[in-house]
A and B are shown apart, each in its own frame.
Chain A
Amino acid sequence: MGCIFSREAADQGDIRDTIQAREIDKRIAQQSTAEKKVQKLLLLGAGESGKSTIFKQIKVLFQTGFDDSEKKNYTSVVHANAYQSIKILLDGLQEFSESEQEKYTLLPENKAIGEKLTEIGNRTQQPPLTEELAQQIEALWKDPAIQASYLRANELQLPDCASHFLNDIHRLAQPDYVPSKEDVLYARVRTMGIVETEFSPVGETKKRGELYRLFDVGGQRNERRKWIHLFDGVTAVIFCAALSEYDQTLFEDESSNRMIETKELFEWVLKEPTFEKTSFLLFLNKFDIFEQKINKVPLNTCEWFKDYKPLTSGQAEVENAYGYVKTKFEELYNESTPPDQRLDRVFKVYKTTALDENLIKRTFRLVDEVLVRQRLMDAKML
């Protein structure tokens, strides 16, 4: 580099070059430390919005996945979900039969089974699912009263995995049953406290990318008090909102609508001062259930969506309704964010079904791009 200069100038040039070289080295070092810095991601959302399912998907997609012994650990959870589901439906019968006696009464041959399963569902240590029990559960599940109760499941606190497990109860009762990956994702456990994991999304060239530290939390009201421990230095908040919950009530307060609760929670999280520069990624989750529900239960049963007018029906209607909900959330974002802040932080909405591995993988690719871009923008600004 210093060939063309004169000797004296060459010395100076050398010095200049060394300084320049040092500057470049320093900037490279800064960049690589910035790259090695762990990005903090939070999974927030109301109860049963799909946060823990996303957390499990991360394990499946970017970590070692679930091996057989871990899957076996979920057997008791799956069985417990099955028992709980049928018990909740039976309790629902009690409630509903007060108004409409005939429709919600079990067939005489199923009454004894009903009592037995209610009692089992109440225990902490539940018996293993035998073939006999599976038959009885199946008999109940096929009972017209239970099916009628299932149609009003939105008034009960029935987990979304109920039909998946109850339809398949014989498979679950096999003596050598090991939950499939799907079963593990469907299994419902109410998260308590804070769980953490680290992962690195694998890039296109199979090179490991950014290092993310992901935190999963409980969504019920008492759990939200614990979120405050996590609010510092967050790169991005993945806010999960279940699309299908617009006609359901809260687990912890049966007088509040779930969608309204999600709306208020989203507002609260957006206005949190520590999140001024945090990216917000809204996962509008449970799209599969939403698809099924939208044609049966109109969207305007929810207070927030009351000025929605269905235009068509079928698949076009689904897209229409989804577009409307997305617009409502975007409006909410704009209301809760002062205009000058809207430039600072990124807000993206994604349509997700947390159970769908490929969809989540693609979504995370997009998320990764967004976050990398954001981080480089921040780095340049620094």
Chain B
Amino acid sequence: MAMADRLRLLLQAAPVLSSSGSFSSSSSSSTACYKEGGCISDYVAVALTALVSLMIFGGSVLLVLRRTVPEIKAKQVPLLLIQSIGSIVWLTSLLMTRNMFKLSHRNSFWESCYLWQLWLEGPFGFGLLISCHIARAFRLYYVFVGRRLPPIRSTFLVPLLLVLWILLSTALQAVQPFRSINECSARWYIWVVIGSMHLFYALVLILCTWAIRNIRFEFNEFTELVTGVSICLIFLVLWIIMNIVKQLAAGGGRLLGVVARFVLVFLGNVIVSCLFWIPVTRPLLAHMLHHPVLGAGRSNLNYDHSMGEALGVPNSGLLVPPAAHISLDEPLESLLQHKRFRLSFLSFAESRIAGETVHFWDEVRELSKLSLTQQDRRVYMADHIIQKYIVNGSQCEINISAQMRLEILSTNDLADPNLFKRAAEEAVHMMQTNLLKEYWQSSYFQELKNQIEMDMEYSAQLERMNIRDIPLRVIRNRDYELPTDNPFERSQASSVPSSGPLDPQGVNLGSRTNGNSTSKSLDFKNIPPWESKAHESQSAYGNRLSKIRVNMDGSASSQSRHLSNRNRLGYLISQRSPSPPHHITPGLDSYSDDENNNKAKDPNIITRPASR
């Protein structure tokens, strides 16, 4: 109680209009709880803050785990993490500066008002929160309005933005505005200065948001920013009103003070929650709801889809023209347009740890499918490709010259259709010189040939049995388009047959070779189990299964074999004979047996080595 007396004396001397209010000698419960904290509303406020902080922490963890999903990646996860740190710091500082706690060691550094009000609530709390949004708006402005890459990374921009506030805090620290180190009471103009700093940052955010108002964003960044800004403004206005009311009603202000600080903390929680959860709720929920058990294990329905899928790139190019029309003498670029070939080639490239070039080429191809009018989507995709493949030290950096890299990074138009043209050509050149020759001799190519032959055989059998229409398969292949009325072509162009129409295993099997499944999974991330032992039994050519090994000593002899194989396939393709090749026994039963074997040994999704 001695301390309370001391404080009373101090405060009686000063014409203070702060949150500590005036004193009366009678220590009613409201006074005691007003001065030292411990009101019921205070406990509620603390509990609320703790709850909100925990939820934000949990949300951040979820974001980090799911940071590769395109919709979440577009929100810039590092910025979101910084924002959540800022939020938690700010909420805590709101609590600490309102005399809510009955603190015993009032003179310690950790309860210093300077720390909490000047530093943690200001630059590292509210300032951090708003700066993250400003940085996000800045990046969006540069990329979408300016169509160039921003000169500074967003995470480096945030400290820059805080410099101003830090300077102000330093200045205030020097001036020593607070009466004592533990009481957050100061002259009214100090509060005006601090409050105006808050307002200033909010205004900057409004300006930045206004600058990007015309862009239609794929992932709703603009609406989220606007929501965030308006919530901030509402909060600030309410805060100002609250403070003014408190000063005006200084006399009977104790109860009002208690209520005021509770409302402040409550509002702070609300604003922080809104700012954090509004951007991330939809993508996180959409992502999590598709897992059968939330996040536990990997389901067959693979939701780690690519940016191309997220932007709605049409998944065509598979069946038109049908696989039988692949001529293996085409240049590599046109061969790669056929999905089956592309998948097979990709698996081979990944076994040689050179997969990133094929992925890059594929994503550039997807970019080219976005029409020129969809500028914002093109920009998203181009930015994604640059961050993933071009930037120095990126996760899947491709092997291009410094000049080419510089050309792409210093572009003035991210939506330029020719942005990646030269790099893609270089990628094709590298694939041709490094991988193509060994691909023809590899087991991956053998498997592709087998699959094509099996397809042709199956469709020939169907024709013999007069089965024309296979509507169930059409149901499953959502992206399938019926090219002609020719039943032979139609059935031929469909997927590898599976045992049942809507069998989920069948879906998986179908997704092995042509990637169409009820889930919108991107096929080239599902490694077809070329490595599985199943295809050894099926492979009629009996090649040795060496994945990485390029046996140069054996190549001379296998070359001639490989040429004859190619010619053979060409013969099969050109003839399209309904009579089965001798090595595949006719009849559906044996075929489905093989295929059941294949299914049984079909391993689950294999994780790739390190091309991520």
Contacts and interface: CB of A to CB of B under 8 A. Distances in A.
Interface of A: 59, 63-64, 67, 69-70, 73, 77, 80, 122-125, 157, 189-199, 218, 220-223, 225-226, 228-229, 250-254
A276 to B, nearest CB: 23
A193 B552 contact: no
A206 B548 CA distance: 29
Contact of A193 (B349, B401, B425): B349
B482 to A, nearest CB: 34
A194 B353 contact: yes
Given A63-B552, A229-B609, A191 B402 contact: no
Contacts of B352: 193-195
Contacts of A77: 433
14 contacts: A64-B553, A70-B559, A125-B331, A190-B433, A193-B349, A193-B352, A193-B354, A193-B435, A195-B550, A196-B548, A197-B549, A197-B553, A221-B397, A226-B610
Q: 3 closest Cβ contacts across the A-B interface? A: A193-B354, A222-B397, A193-B352
A196 B550 contact: yes
Contacts of A194: 352-354, 548
Contacts of B610: 225-226, 228-229
Contacts of A122: 422, 425
Contacts of B549: 196-198
Contacts of B555: 70
Nearest to A47: B399
A233 to B, nearest CB: 15
Contacts of B397: 221-222, 225
B448 interface: no
B430 interface: yes
Given A192-B399, A198-B551, A229-B610, A124 B354 contact: no
Contact of B402 (A193, A223, A250): A250
B399 A124 contact: no
B198 to A, nearest CB: 44
Interface in B360-413: 392, 397-403, 405
A63 B352 CA distance: 21
B468 to A, nearest CB: 41
Contacts of A221: 392, 397
B429 to A, nearest CB: 5
Contacts of B400: 252
A27 B147 CA distance: 71
Given A64-B553, A198-B549, 4 more contacts: A189-B433, A194-B353, A196-B550, A197-B553
Interface residues of B, number: 37
Contacts of A59: 552
Which of B353, B400, B403, B559 has the most chain A CB within a 10 Å cutoff?
B353
Contacts of A69: 559
B609 A67 contact: no
Contact of A197 (B356, B405, B428, B552): B552
Contacts of A252: 399-402, 405
B579 interface: no
Interface of B: 331, 333, 349, 352-354, 356-357, 392, 397-403, 405, 422, 425, 428-430, 433-435, 437, 548-553, 555-556, 559, 609-610
B553 A63 contact: yes
Contact of B353 (A73, A226, A253): A226
B434 A193 contact: yes
B353 to A, nearest CB: 5
A124 B549 CA distance: 28
Which of A77, A123, A190, A199 has the most chain B CB within a 10 Å cutoff?
A190
B398 A124 contact: no
Contacts of B405: 252
Contacts, number: 90
A254 B402 contact: yes
B425 A124 contact: yes
A162 to B, nearest CB: 16
Given A67-B556, A192-B435, A195-B550, A253 B399 contact: no
Contact of A251 (B357, B392, B402, B422): B402
Contacts of B428: 124
A190 B609 contact: no
Contacts of B559: 69-70
Nearest to A219: B399
A223 B437 contact: no
A69 B400 CA distance: 30
Contacts of A228: 610
Nearest to B404: A252
Given A64-B553, A222-B398, A192 B354 contact: yes
A77 B435 CA distance: 13
Nearest to A252: B402
B550 A197 contact: yes
B556 A192 contact: no
Contacts of A123: 425
B331 A218 contact: no
B403 to A, nearest CB: 7
Contacts of B553: 63-64, 197-199
Which of B331, B399, B610 has the most chain A CB within a 10 Å cutoff?
B399
B556 A253 contact: no
Given A124-B425, A124-B428, A190 B399 contact: yes
A59 B551 CA distance: 10
Contacts of A195: 352, 550
A133 to B, nearest CB: 19
Contacts of A63: 552-553
B556 A220 contact: no
A124 B609 contact: no
A190 B550 contact: no
A339 to B, nearest CB: 34
A132 to B, nearest CB: 23
A254 B405 CA distance: 11
B556 to A, nearest CB: 5
Nearest to A253: B402
A70 B550 CA distance: 14
A199 B550 CA distance: 12
Contacts of B399: 190, 192, 218, 220, 222-223, 252
Nearest to B395: A225
